[in-house]
Structure 1
């Protein structure tokens, strides 16, 4: 399941509770488009702001609506025992994979992170994806640690949060990782503004925020990159550069949630309090930008 396009939808909220009908409709749209997997309750799905009960409910909804498309859900928490409880909930709900970022109030050491993944990997029965996302977790993985973790049992993929900006540098890092990680562990890229470069550099999967709302366009870009068509990939990606500007300025969650509100896919406000979507001039500018994008809005 850790190849191709893994689409990460929003978990729309209404007064703090999951909007079940809209959430299911987002999942069903991904299924219809033919995405390769669904990353329910990723960072885009606001997992860290939801209670255990809400996360269980959302996971069940996602698996039920996925019609056999593999679903991965996040089990991140600052409490290790809670991580294991969340993993059990997710597995009982029928997920095909788990996503784990090393969340903590105190900054973790590399040894502490290794021990966390070692404990979790030893107690689960589905593949685990390592989530390298220092922007939210505050922890930066070294390549040496990623390689070591890949040899734990039940490891399925590494979700990279960053790569060198130039294609040569990105390709070199991806190639080195692929030559060292355990057999069968894939390398994925997140951070949508750099994902085209990451796929062309050799990543196996795009863990995509955009794909959670616009799966058809995201699939076209993914398929072009994976077949090595650099010209088409760059063309499709360049057309999205006005949107990537907003991603870099405000972060992907606030921007994609604003897009979802502006296009009527979700009711406003859709984010967990106190997070807010864009307002004022920036919201208006994003709305104007959307009219120029080839997303089929």
Structure 2
């Protein structure tokens, strides 16, 4: 399967309180993704806490991933940073460490113009010299890639995909049709926002960039495969069984919830990077209850 297609699983990056990556715990998380044969691993995305890590710790995470994946699964690495030169250096570092592709969000403090983001993406894509996916995440970055900007960027060398949020005021199929009419035929369009991605895949999206895939990869792969073969009934039935988790994701943010899930699965005791706080105890209990309702072999046995 082509890079930026299918299930791209986004794992947490467990660290200690000082931000040092726990390579052993990260390895346990990644082993599950390898066993489930996800289509790619999205390391150092928002779920991976990339903006809370130094360049050295990002490299530690990449080295751990390349060791555990051993070339069996493509590795996509997030390289977002405030400064263009820093993001370019991260892109080169990821390439040199063995990444197969890059993910770039326009992180900013000063609001960015479209021309500034265009120049930023071009510089990072050239530095990384790898297929690059645009990360359209306005709820976090406060920058929105418009269809016109995506069209413009899709013509650049190395820019090969976009990771889209769920549309707030459009039907996914309509948005996909619009974007496909603007970009090259081999430009991949995928979605995040796990609770709506089953419908995105059924509508023809190329990829599900998945938080859930980074923690429950087996079930996520089953949903992805059912949707991609057009078995809407099976895909929707599995998705419906995840409603308690989707409710928690929307209420508390997927990052907090997925750390609680990792605790329940015995993968790590690491906490979210401060200042993000873990779920309150009573809400964490809801995570435990939601997991118990999911008929998923990887949870019942805590192994794949």
| TM more than 0.5 | yes
Q: Distance in 1 between matches of 2:39 and 2:133?
A: 15
Question: 1:149 pairs with 146, 153, 156, which one?
Answer: 153
Report the 3-state secondary structure (helix = DSSP H, G, I; strand = E; otherwise coil) of the residue aligned with 1:258. helix
1:45 deviates by 0.6
1:146 deviates by 1.0
Residue 112 of structure 1 is matched in structure 2 by 116
Q: Distance in 2 between matches of 1:87 and 1:67?
A: 20
1:272 deviates by 1.4
Residue 87 of structure 2 is matched in structure 1 by 83
| 62-71 or 175-184, larger mean C-alpha shift | 175-184
1:124 deviates by 2.5
Question: 1:45 pairs with 48, 58, 63, which one?
Answer: 48
Report the 3-state secondary structure (helix = DSSP H, G, I; strand = E; otherwise coil) of the residue aligned with 1:14. coil
For the aligned residues, what is the CA RMSD? Answer: 1.3
Report the 3-state secondary structure (helix = DSSP H, G, I; strand = E; otherwise coil) of the residue aligned with 1:151. coil
Contact 2:7 2:209 in 1 (8 A): yes
What stretches of structure 2 of length at least 5 have no aligned partner? Answer: 300-304
Residue 179 of structure 1 is matched in structure 2 by 181
Q: Distance in 2 between matches of 1:117 and 1:152?
A: 9
Q: Distance in 2 between matches of 1:286 and 1:91?
A: 37
1:14 deviates by 2.2
Question: 1:32 pairs with 20, 31, 35, which one?
Answer: 35
Q: Distance in 2 between matches of 1:171 and 1:286?
A: 32
Runs of 4 or more off by more than 3 Å in structure 1?
A: none
1:164 deviates by 4.9
Q: How does 1:117-128 map onto structure 2 within 5 Å?
A: 117-128=121-132
**TM-score normalized by the length of structure 1:** 0.95
1:163 deviates by 2.4
Q: Distance in 1 between matches of 2:211 and 2:156?
A: 28
Matched positions, count: 294
Q: How does 1:1-297 map onto structure 2 within 5 Å?
A: 1-16=3-18, 17-68=20-71, 69-164=73-168, 169-267=171-269, 269-296=270-297, 297=299
Q: Distance in 2 between matches of 1:21 and 1:165?
A: 42
Contact 1:164 1:170 in 2 (8 A): no
**TM-score normalized by the length of structure 2:** 0.93
1:293 deviates by 1.8
Contact 1:31 1:67 in 2 (8 A): no
1:29 deviates by 1.5
1:18 deviates by 1.2
Q: Distance in 2 between matches of 1:278 and 1:42?
A: 20
What stretches of structure 1 of length at least 5 have no aligned partner? Answer: none
Q: Distance in 2 between matches of 1:153 and 1:199?
A: 26
